[in-house]
Amino acid sequence: MPVNIRHALIIAAGRGRRFGAVTNSRPKPLIEVAGVPLLFRTLLTAREAGIDHFVVVTGYLGEFLEDFLRREIPPGIEVQCLRNEEWERPNGLSVLRAKEHLRGLFALLMADHLFEAQILKNLLSTPLPPGSCRLAVDFHPERIFDRADATKVAVQDGRVKDIGKEIKNYNAIDTGIFLCSSGLFENLETAISRGKESLSDGIRELAHQERMEAMDIGDLFWQDVDDETSRLEVEKRLFLFKAGETPNASE
């Protein structure tokens, strides 16, 4: 039986330093890919999967981004903005900022990760055990455009065993697309109490309890947009996708 949710948390707090001077006066989530801001692409894709209520955590140039959303939010979408004033610290703090504003199951998305709606639909296609979370993973690391900076995942028997940018033994890549329960917040708090403040640290806590599922995205499209090179790459892949060709990040 599919999971029926209408809420998503989107992390949009970082500066995006790898874009250089571009983000001096414009927050990274508003950088355009094929004429559409990154954040709007995430919102619209999630809406295609049935989600229409969003909590967006801002940080760097937060007032600018929040004002833009108030003026330009696409029709049929509700957005609540929360500010993380400590946005320069690891991203687990941005996730935890939303703890009191989300109840039940919700999707967790990154403002700078673009993806096909079918990935999120598949993530919601089966029930989630109480207190657990589920991550969409790509089992083809060789296709990843910027693998060195990607978050790696070790998956065994459908569960995440380890996660992090620096882990050596991995067989998949984190797409940044999650189905979450309140268990995520509880385990982030545990990790932070130990001085570990990233989202991956909280996911690792869940993994140690065998409460972190992994779902294979197969050949579906996704791309992390971290700099101008990857922005141009994802535009190329989007145009190939629309033309009915198979996008290949290694081209």
Task: Quick: pLDDT tens for 209-218.
Answer: 999 999 999 9
Q: Residue 199: name the closest of 101, 57, 63 by CA.
A: 57
**Residue 41 one-letter amino acid:** R
How many residues does this entry show for the chain?
A: 251
Q: Using an 8 Å Cβ cutoff, are 13 and 111 in contact? A: no
Q: What confidence tier does 242 reach under pLDDT thresholds 50, 70, 90?
A: low
Domain extents in the chain: 7-241
Q: What is the share, in percent, of the chain residues with pLDDT greater than 90?
A: 86
Q: What confidence tier does 236 reach under pLDDT thresholds 50, 70, 90?
A: confident
pLDDT at 244: 56
pLDDT, mean over the chain: 93
Higher pLDDT pick, 154 / 74:
154
Q: How far apart are CA 94 and CA 59, in angstroms?
A: 8
Q: Using an 8 Å Cβ cutoff, are 248 and 241 in contact? A: no
9, β-bridge pairs: 55, 108
121's CB contacts (< 8 A; 6+ apart) are: 49, 50
Q: How far apart are CA 131 and CA 105, in angstroms?
A: 9
pLDDT at 248: 40
**C-alpha 237: how far from chain center:** 19
Query: In this structure, which topology does domain 7-241 adopt according to CATH?
Result: Spore Coat Polysaccharide Biosynthesis Protein SpsA; Chain A (3.90.550)
Task: Quick: pLDDT tens for 40-65.
Answer: 999 999 999 999 999 999 999 999 99
pLDDT over threshold 90, residue 145: no
